[in-house]
Chains A and B, each alone.
Chain A
Amino acid sequence: MTTATTAPSGRRPGRPEGQRRPERQRQSTWRRRDAATGYAFVAPAVIGAIAFVVGPLIAVAWYSLHEWNVLANTFTFVGADNYQAMLDDPALHDSLLASLWFSLGVVVLNLTLSLGLAILLNQKLPGTTFFRVLFFSPVVVSLVAWTIVWGFLLQADNGINAFLSTLGITGPNWLRGSVTAMISVIVVQVFKNVGLNMILFLAALQGVPEEIQEAARLDGAGALRRFWSVVLPMISPTVLLVAILTVVGSLETFALIDVLTDGGPGTSTTVLVFYLYRQAFEFNQFGYASAISVLLFVIVLVLTLLQWQTRKKWVFHEA
């Protein structure tokens, strides 16, 4: 560093202004070699992106235009037939509806609970660190393990219902009724992930200046009013961002459904990803499954672009 700053002419070190020729030559060789190093550094990531992301994405769009049964070994071009079939497939519509309910339930419950927990943790109550670790702990637990334990708790005559029966209450057969099964998968998913959103909200809450709240307090605003009119508007960009992240996460939920309900009872918890898996790896309809993949991709794409848009605003808000 000292050698660089001794040159009085150029403020920026490394710029060979007014320097000797060999130096400039050395600079340009360095730059050329540097560009080559750059390509070498990014090569694994770029090759990986082509081979395992962009390539497969193009392939899935191409497959979606084909009738492709793996078992029967048929692969024929059928144009938009698979998309036409999607319009006429009541099972697909059911799965879209299931995804809608699932995502909606997850978002509403997750945001309410995580924001509530973040507010509680922000009160500087005793034991805050302990509770923060505790509420966060399911995030690091494997989803399948978490789901297995909840599956055990949600049996007809064991777990939660066994405890209820000691109180004289007959609990529902959670996983065998279509509404209770949907509620179950929503609740299990939310408890698993709520800790992450809680931390994001906690950070946002801590960014709300104390003075503004103090001013509202002096103006006679009660706690609820302060939250609604002062705190919530200030953290609203985070709320929106977290909401979108949660929806995208819920759209990609597969293990939970597979382990807890297997899409049932009937098809009541067969969300889009599960239906896609079933079409591909149980019914061997790879062409149709590819068309569903494209649909899933478009939905997630729209949401992710929306999220990036929000983040821009969020960053702006921070600055």
Chain B
Amino acid sequence: MPETNGHDAPRVGFYVCHCGHNIAGIVDVAEVARFAGTLPNVIVARDYKYMCSDPGQELIITDIREHRLNRIVVASCSPLLHEHTFRVATEKGGLNPFYFQMVNIREDVSWVTENHDAATHKALDLVRAAVRRVAHHRSLATKHVRIHPDVLVVGAGISGIHAALTLANAGKKVTLVEREPTIGGHMAMFDKTFPTLDCAACILTPKMSAVKNHPNITLWSYSEVSEVSGYVGSYTVKVKRKPRFVSEELCVGCMECIDACVYKEGKTPDEFNQGLSKRKPVYIPFPQATPQVVLIDPDTCIEFKSGRCKKTCVEKCDRNAIDFKQKEEIKEIQVGTIILATGFKTFDPKRIPYYGYGKYPNVYSSLEVERLVNASGPTGGDLVLRDGRHPKTVGIIHCVGSRDRNTNRWCSRTCCMYSLKLAHLLKEHSEAEVYNFYIDIRAAGKAYEEFYDKLLEENIHFIRGRVAEVTDWSARPEEEGKMIIRVEDTLIGVVRRVPVDMVVLAVGMEPQADSQDVRRMFNISCSTEGFFLERHPKLAPVDTFTDGIFIAGACQGPKDIPDSVAQAGAAAAQALSLIDAGEVELEPNTAYVVEESCSGCKSCLNICPYTAITRDETRQKAFINEALCKGCGTCVATCPSGAIRQNLFEDEQIFSEIEGLLQEKESVLTGGGAWRAPA
């Protein structure tokens, strides 16, 4: 640890960054540098175009050596972006990195202020505060914690599967937790994928079985994370394993029990088929389900309801896999990093009643159509409507629950492309006339625009306009028995009525219903709409504000399969880089008790949610376990006699910041008492 003359009089080097025009366009940076030069303790004050660049950092390093600086202040962007950069430069100059203080004059000043004078004025106040503060900085040792090499991946859709396989292939032990009885997520329900039209199952099921068979992956399906504690490198996770009432170890997925069930026909809407078919109380979501294990639904099984079933399923199973007494289990695991890939839910089209979903049987959601055109779907791929007819005309309505102030404002990014795909598949399956009702066609992606071009040549109709309503009120003989889509065709400026046999609602993507609970459990943030919030939209798209927790796929925002897989790979790489580094640096912002100042009054003991504070009963003083302290500083503010302090956020540092911010107008404070803490 490079140690320097921290106890000598402060010699401050001050640097203000132009950030091109980002700062210098609003803030008078020359004035800021001039002003800083007049402040006590400031030895060097400079402005420079890009402080974060190599030459910018070199300025700091050289000045430290040439001017014997022992404190550094940089006024530039947010400390959340570049504090680390400048601490490293400070350290390279030979100082302890914590003799550095950053002033945010970009996010907090130039980007939010119109008036040049006001912006410069604000910058000067902030600079004065930082220069005062840095005088009270102390040399600190960086904390290191070991990273447990195991990883938890939550959610086993395509993102979670890909992340788990990437990690497992790199030799890491992965626990993959999936809430549903099978992995595969939404992708497993799809028929084909845009724009290549390769079959979803053909590309997904090999990955599913790779997950199942990988020696480094523990797959817990039909399970949910129930509790998370700890911190980066050392998380303790509790997982609730819901009872299948079928032993996962014994069942081989022969499905004979399903045939043997006393119910000859299914009576419960099949979740996987979006309710388009019925399943029995004993079932398997779909033939390629992974794991290949059936489960029993206690809500509909006669044995659970009455206890008087003949239990033909049990008789049939020669492996005795069925166990009505199976109980929920809570498993506890230790991991160092976590990847959340909890996916999305589709928009509920009932929320837009004028599109007739739930009212007219032949109005379908796009996910239902995925099942309907699927060869392994409820109709074996035969496009037969709920009323038994085959459609001659189909209307696909885009942006249902997307780009709409009444529902969701965001673009769900996938609906244009999957609508094009469905248009192609519907035409292929039925020779029907297919109309697309769209606002814009968003086909930004590799080979996406080309796919759109191809469809234009397939005689698919495109009508530009947001659909007003779907109705069965016929106005002309040719509309009899049909549903009529009313829309303004904005390209020709005419209100049209398009009679169709089938309506497909291209529903948008939404956060999972329990995304708020999940993010609380993992201590991460959500954006306003409820998708998980990335640490930085550009530079840290799979990181979160909680170290060691990463996000991938549609839980972060609507995205298609290629983007989800790319993100999953990125999240796995981020986890790997932590694991392979072996340890991670933590901010040394922990609290500590100054023992001779502590009266042992116990005011702090119950304040710490991490039980980091205990009382040494022989010495009758409080003691903070640094390994457990996460550095919030709540106990510091609580301690009624000022005996607890917090590294990087000492009372003196904050008081001097307050003083610096307000100094400009301060008049002589007479008296004030000798008990004022020395500032």
* B is bound to A: no
A residues neighboring B (CB under 8 Å): none
